[in-house]
Amino acid sequence: MAPFVVLTTVTLLARLLGWITALTWLDSWPHAIALGLAAMFALTAGAHFQQPRRDALIAMVPPRLPNAPALVTLTGFLELAGAIGLLIPATAQLAAACLFVLLLVMFPANIRAARADLGITTMPLPARTALQGVFLAACAVVVLA
């Protein structure tokens, strides 16, 4: 739930800041959402490198995939790179598109975690799916801006 709270809070604060100041770049939902997504992915990337979350993420990787620790490290770096890309106007749309695909690719791990009650098990599969839809929609808003 923390990623959703970060996405929502940073997006709303960025939009408010754009509305009440001369920062016209932030006076746009897609730009504010890009900042919210950047903060969210920076937060989630950290979980890929810090215990005990790292071990929980490794446990979520489907067993048919090789070298789960390396995959968790790789996806952490990809999330961090995407977060940085979202902060650069020239690359924000591409970063959002890549993060959209990354969310889709990583979702089977969420399904596995929910069904097997392992890894990060903070919410049941229907809630995880709905939340994933929110994250995908946020990426889509930035891509289509």
89 φ, ψ (degrees, to nearest 5): -50, -40
- What is the number of alpha carbons within 13 Å of residue 145 lying toward its C-beta? 24
Whether the Cβ atoms of residue 5 and residue 122 lie closer than 8 Å to each other: no
Range of the domain at 28: 2-143
Average pLDDT, the chain: 92
Token readout for 100 is: 């959209």
Q: Is the pLDDT of residue 122 over 70?
A: no
Q: How far apart are CA 22 and CA 41, in angstroms?
A: 27
Q: How far apart are CA 56 and CA 48, in angstroms?
A: 9
| Sign (positive or negative) of CA dihedral 20, 24, 29, 34 | negative
Q: What percentage of the chain reaches a pLDDT higher than 90?
A: 72
Total number of domains constituting the chain: 1
Length, in residues, of the chain: 145
* pLDDT tens, position by position, 47-76: 999 998 999 999 989 889 999 999 999 999
CA dihedral 48, 68, 57, 11 (to 10 degrees): 50
Give pTM, 2 decimals.
0.93
* pLDDT tens, position by position, 91-106: 999 999 999 999 999 9
Q: What is the pLDDT of residue 121?
A: 63
